[in-house]
Structure 1
Amino acid sequence: MRNKLLILCDNRPLLCSSQILAFCENLEELALVGCDALFMTGSILSRDSALGVTLPSLRELDLSSNRYLSDAILVRLLALSPRLESLSLRGCQIGFHPGIYRRFYPAGGAGAVSSSVLTFECVLSFLREHGADLELDLSRCLTAVTDASLQAICRYMRGLQVLRISECHLVTDSGLTGLGLTPISDGAELKPNKTFLHGEAGAQPEQPAARATPRRNEHAISLRSRHEREIWSDAGRKVLVQSQIDLNETGSGVSLLDLKCLTELDLSQCSRISDVGVSHVVRFGGLRRLSLAHCPQLGDAGVARLGRHCPGLEVVRLAHCVALTDEGLAGLVRHAPRLKHLELQGCVELTDGALRAIMAHCASLQYLDVSGCRLMSAAQAGCLEEALPRLATWARPWTLPEGAVPTGPNVTDVPGFNAKSDSRLPCGAPGL
């Protein structure tokens, strides 16, 4: 039996935390979630209070949602955990911009670590030394995970098995592929994403004089909204990355393909990645769990190739990928015989053709969620139930509220109504 200590502070001070940890030498999992009051003073596990505290058996450390987590506290916790295998910094405020690092480390990192800020440089230094095969969760670290920081992870953590960077909106196709970015050299300063008004990512490739674009007036003011500029930027970046793929260029020489040991990848709500980046680098024979939910630029071209490139997929989440159609989903399931868990809720372009493809190729499927797929019919949903005997939990295209019974002249026409049984499984049933 594994020993686990979960501390949810909820902004209330936890007294004698170091004394508690002193009696947990066999602890394997430690979750300090939302402990702002605990970390605010910065004195937890300081030199005096940490005497006699060791965590030699600790495998998993969860520090999610801590606003006052600093470099000093992180270093103390990691120093006590020599066998750490999983680190979660989900929702922590990690400083990535070089200006932040220079402010708190004017001597370039020499001297004591800062107790005022958590920097990506500090996280990266640990990953370089000890994180070769670590499970890493940096989800919701909104300003920390950029193209440059993702490139650093791919460069220094080639044994990584689990990578979760959901809700990191600064990650683009360039970060996934390394195309359009300058090479990373050892000791080089990491720089944040630039603002791309014309779609270029990173360093611009030199263009022939005949193709050179007119020089922009440095005093010109764009009247486009920020959202419009991002749309133009993403469209231009996709063209640039695709052109470099066609020319077999290497870009930075580092990409997601370097993480050859990945078994789980979460890119959900990374809204700026597209078919171009996903189809080029999501190619892992050992990948088991993949989440690309809420990626509006992901469509048929990227999804259809996932089955061929990742034949071992068992869990796939594509919820609210609004550009996905039957053709893309059919290409996925046709080459994913091990698929057990599939989430398609909110994919509004899917029709009965998607259900027929699932019936034909997903004999092992145990969980399916197609709630919100309004173009699917109740008749085809009933056929799917009969064709997949292993399907234990699924949310139909349209589900009635709990306890409600469909009424009207022809209740069998109500989308999602199961004429064979009055029982309905909840849409939010847990997956695998």
Structure 2
Amino acid sequence: MDLPFEVLVYIFKYLPKSDRKAASETCTSWYQAANAHCFLKNKVVVFYKSTFTDDISLLEMFENSSTIYYNYLFNEVELSSKTLGFWDRMGDNILSLTLKNCDICEKVFASIIQKCMNLEMLTIQSCKELFMSGRLLEGKTEGLLTESLENLKVLSLSGNQYLTDALLNRFVTAAPALEELDLSGCSLQFHLGLVKRFYPAGTDINLNPSESVLTFYFVQQIIASKAKNIKKLLFSNTLIDGTALKSLSETPDMQLECLEAHSCDQLTNTGFLALTNHQTSLRELDISLCSRVTDQSLVHICKNLVNLEYLNIQRCRAVTDLGIVELHKLKKLKSLNISQCELITKEGLSKGICAEENNLLEELDIHSLNLDHTGLVMILEKLPKLRSLDISYCFNAATDTSIQVIFKNQVFLETLKMSHCDKVSDAGFTGMGKVESAGESDGPIMSNYDDINTPQRINLGSRAEEEIVRDAKRKRDVMKMCEKLSLDSFTGFSLARLQNLKVLDMSGCNRITDVSLRYAFNFKELTVLNLSRCQQITHEGIEHLVENCPSIEHFNLVDCYNLKDEAVNSIVKGLHRLQTLELKGCNQLTDKTLESVKLHCKKLKFLDVQGCRNMSPELACSIGSLPTLHTVLMTKPGPYVTDGVKNRTPGTKFLPALMRKFRLH
């Protein structure tokens, strides 16, 4: 008996996106439920490196589909006049349109915009040819264009070096409801000398915007004219300075909710003081990689921006404990990034975010901080509701003992990143310490193999050889303990306790072996896994991993040089949702790997086989015939050496449409 449509939709609301997508392939009724309006409004149709020259193009497939999609993204594609039929039929339904690195001329773009009458979000990123002439939309800011952009709320023109005041004016004039403006990475000019040159005294800036430069002076006038609507501004990777930020913050009637200004080295305390005094409604602030941000700025932020929910001060290296202690004043903070701030210590954090138990903070990024394991344990005990945690490159903080606290307290984690935490071993991931005997007290006992008392012997080997011996002993002892699990022996806290994990990054954790993959990995919702440079894992561990983590879509195994063809064969057979597979530097892989990929990967989009010297470049190229595959990274072929003689025979010729997919390195 089939469930009613409404019941199916209700059930699907509890499924993750990847599960819902897989369920939609089961039958017609499930497909329809998975494409109900409540799901479709967040779905994006992505065309990446696609061509529209076939008799039945990809665009025609969506034209003839019974499902109507509202959001489209075109990345590295050519949009010509041949595609205008698609916009004639589908334009009224499109709410969000994104063009990235696209080859499109002014005439075609103008036609497309005039057909999309209900646009709410428009993104044009790094399409330099579109802006190069400066004539885009000239004479079209009235009539149909104004009707098309009447509902536009989000305008992003990031990364366009040829954007000018005149071009920006044509877009903004036609968008009366604009709420968000993104000019990140544009050549925004702040020097007053340029303003005087292009706008002499008495010039009406609104009637004669410059067709040569993009000036902050003009942008500020645009923002001031729409101050009551503007809620979000993005000026990342520009030369905005403290004076400009101060002037912007003092715009009458403007109440910003979000400001992104990362990688803006000219920003100073003067600008942040004005920002915090005038824009007290801010909920999101990103000032990462701003080298002039100091404790004074952070003090004003924590004092005045009491509604702040997201704060990013990554690599603001002048920030010390004096500023960090003020973080306890942000009572609504949900996401915090203080990574790469080298002067922050445990003492500052203890008086800041760890001053009391915090049940509101959900995302924390502290990678590359100078903490010891006691500092990390303090953070983990005070923040029990974390959904995302990044402790990468915390070399001294992440140990077998401290990650046990993660597995014990952070049971809601969905994202865990611990790249290059090379002190963590199988003992920590599995929760196993030394073998317990009767009479020992309950509790996890984490072994410190480096401190085991052994008889003094004359050492004739190197330190590296000693480490290899210790790793082998550690692996053997943990394996013995894991095998005793069936006897209900006491264990610590395993990684498998984090059942909500969707993203896991363990790259560079070179002490983990197949033992961890076998006994600590059991995640039904895990979609992204990074095991790059985990050089002790083999196909035996991969087989158990694939069996227990069937939802993986993005798998990184770069420089895992102990992997053989059997491992990749298990991956491509068992991971039916696999979209990205990175095998760079896995130099034991052969053509059998490519044959397995070609035979079993039905959804693969990205493949990296650089440095796999036992693979045939010709076979690697032929794998591009997979319909979903859009990018293959491979090592440039030849010349080959045969009997000591270089063979410079040219490789096989391939169709240009196929070679688009490859990047030779």
**Smaller-chain TM-score range?**
0.7 to 0.9
In structure 1, what is the equivalent of residue 532 of structure 2? Answer: 293
Instruction: Give yes or no for contact 1:241–1:276 (8 Å, CA) kept in 2.
Output: yes
Matches of 1:14 and 1:164, distance apart in 2: 32
Q: Give the corresponding residue for 2:426.
A: 173
- The 1:8/1:385 distance shift into structure 2, 3 A limit, reads closer
Q: Equivalent residue for 1:80?
A: 330
- Look up the SS of the partner of 2:327 in the other structure: helix
1:359 and 1:384 in contact (8 A); partners too: yes
Amino acid paired to 2:603? S
Q: Which of 31, 42, 52 is the matching residue for 2:304? A: 52
Q: What aligned pairs does 1:6-85 form with structure 2 within 5 A after superposition?
A: 6-8=261-263, 14-22=269-277, 23=279, 25-28=281-284, 30-33=286-289, 35=291, 38-39=293-294, 42-46=295-299, 50-58=302-310, 61-65=311-315, 70=320, 73-77=323-327, 79-80=329-330, 82-85=332-335
Structure-2 residue corresponding to 1:392: 630
Picking from 347, 353, 378, the partner of 2:586 is 347
Residue 420 in 1 paired to residue 655 in 2? yes
Say whether residues 1:317 and 2:556 are aligned partners.
Answer: yes
Q: Do the aligned partners of 1:70 and 1:117 also contact (CA within 8 Å) in 2?
A: no
**Closer/same/farther in 2, CA of residues 16 and 121 from structure 1, 3 Å limit:** farther
Cα distance between partner residues in 2 of 1:287 and 1:357: 23
Q: How far is 1:374 from its partner? A: 1.0
User: Which has the greater radius of gyration?
Assistant: 2
Greater shift, 337-346 or 225-234, is seen at 225-234
Deviations 1:398-432 (A, max 9, x none): 369xxxxxx976312xxxx6523384556499xxx
Q: CA deviation at 1:223?
A: 4.6
- Equivalent position to 1:140, from 377, 383, 393: 393
Alpha carbons of 1:252 and 1:427: their partners in 2 closer, same or farther (altered >3 Å)? farther
Asked if 1:196 corresponds to 2:450, the answer is yes
Corresponding position of 2:509: 270
Does the alignment pair 1:283 with 2:537?
no
Change in Cα spacing, 1:8 to 1:56, as seen in structure 2 (3 Å) is same
Aligned equivalents of 1:77, 1:379: Cα separation in 2? 57
Instruction: Indicate the structure with greater helix content.
Output: 2
- Alpha carbons of structure 1 residues 57 and 222: separation in structure 2 relative to 1, 3 Å: same
Residue identity in the other structure for 1:54 = V
**1:238 matched to 2:492:** no
1:229 aligns with 2:481: no
**Which amino acid in structure 2 is aligned with residue 313 of structure 1?**
I
Does the 8 A contact of 2:624 with 2:661 survive in 1?
A: no
5+ residue gaps, structure 1: 184-189, 199-213, 401-406
Is the aligned partner of 1:154 residue 2:407?
yes
1:334 CA displacement:
0.8
CA-atom RMSD in angstroms = 3.9
Q: Which amino acid aligns with 1:84?
A: K
Distance 2:331 2:630 in 1: 40
Distance in 1 (alpha carbons) for counterparts of 2:290 and 2:461: 39
Q: Which runs of 5+ in 2 are unaligned?
A: 1-153, 155-231, 233-257, 357-368, 437-443, 639-645
C-alpha distance in 1 between matches for 2:315 and 2:615: 39
Counterpart CA distance in 2 for 1:379 and 1:19 is 61
Q: What CA distance in whole angstroms lies between the structure 2 residues aligned with 1:142 and 1:316? A: 24
CA distance in 1 between counterparts of 2:406 and 2:664 reads: 33
Task: Describe the SS at the equivalent of 1:45.
Answer: helix
How far has the Cα of 1:369 moved from its partner? 0.7
Whether the 8 Å CA contact 2:634–2:664 is kept in 1: the answer is no
Do structure 1's residue 377 and structure 2's residue 616 form an aligned pair?
Answer: yes
* Deviations 1:250-296 (CA, angstroms, capped at 9, x unpaired): 56521111111110000001111111112211210000100000111
By how many angstroms is 1:229 displaced? 1.9
Work out the percentage of aligned pairs sharing the same amino acid: 28
Higher relative contact order (CA 8 A, sep 6+): 1
The farther-off stretch of 294-303 and 336-345 is 294-303
Structure 1: which amino acid aligns with 2:330? L
- The more displaced of 300-309 and 312-321 is 300-309
Between the aligned partners of 1:52 and 1:191, the Cα distance in structure 2 is 47
Give 1:38 deviation, angstroms. 3.4
Aligned CA distance change for structure 1 residues 338 and 327 (closer, same or farther; 3 Å): same
Task: Name the amino acid aligned to 1:231.
Answer: I
Aligned to 1:394, what secondary structure does the other structure show?
A: strand
Instruction: Return closer, same or farther for 1:151/1:31 CA change in 2, 3 Å cut-off.
Output: farther
The count of residues paired between Structure 1 and Structure 2 equals 376
Show CA shifts across 1:230-255 (max 9, x none). Answer: 11111111001111111116565211
Answer yes or no: is the 8 Å Cα contact 1:197–1:232 preserved in 2: no
Q: What is the aligned partner in structure 1 of residue 492 from structure 2?
A: 253
Task: Rate the CA distance shift 1:90–1:352 in 2: closer, same or farther, 3 A.
Answer: farther
Deviation at 1:82, TM superposition (A): 2.5
Task: Describe the SS at the equivalent of 2:293.
Answer: helix
For 1:179, the aligned partner's letter is M
What is the CA–CA distance in structure 2 between the aligned matches of 1:118 and 1:70, rounded to whole Å?
14
Contact 2:375–2:397 (CA<8 Å) still a contact in 1? Answer: no
> Does the aligned pair in 1 maintain the 2:506–2:530 contact within 8 Å?
yes
Per the normalisation by structure 2, the TM-score is 0.50
Name which of 558, 568, 582 aligns with 1:329.
568
- The amino acid of 1:166's aligned partner reads S
